[in-house]
Amino acid sequence: MVLTFPVSCSQLKFCTRAVATTFAATLDDSSRFLGAKHVRSYLGLVPREYSSGERQHRGRISKAGSVRARSLLVEAAWSLLR
């Protein structure tokens, strides 16, 4: 099923099920994470950091982790915002 915009209610229900299933499959055992920060790091949703001495620069998200899970989370967020 391909989601097009605007998203209908039936497509949104499918999208949330697909996102939840992929998210659960990606995390496998959620007890190994201490909190949301660790999950964000595992999925690659934290900014890269280039630090030297007192200078800190935060870049784009690190994109380490499951590309599929990350893209589904982004699509779900967009569908909720519209």
What is the pLDDT of the chain when averaged over all its residues?
76
What's the rounded Cα separation, in Å, for the pair 45 and 62? 7
Q: Three-class SS of residue 47?
A: strand
Model confidence at 16: pLDDT above 80: no
- 63 domain residue, yes or no: yes
- 71 domain residue, yes or no: yes
- 50 domain residue, yes or no: yes
Q: Three-class SS of residue 56?
A: strand
Number of domain units in the chain: 1
Q: What's the predicted TM-score (pTM) here?
A: 0.62
For 18, the token pair is 């697909």
Q: Which domain holds residue 69?
A: 35-82
Q: Which residue has the higher pLDDT, 14 or 73?
A: 73
- 66 domain residue, yes or no: yes
Residue 4's pLDDT band, with cuts at 50, 70 and 90, is: very low
Q: Which residue has the higher pLDDT, 17 or 26?
A: 26
Query: What is the predicted pLDDT for the residue at 14?
Result: 58
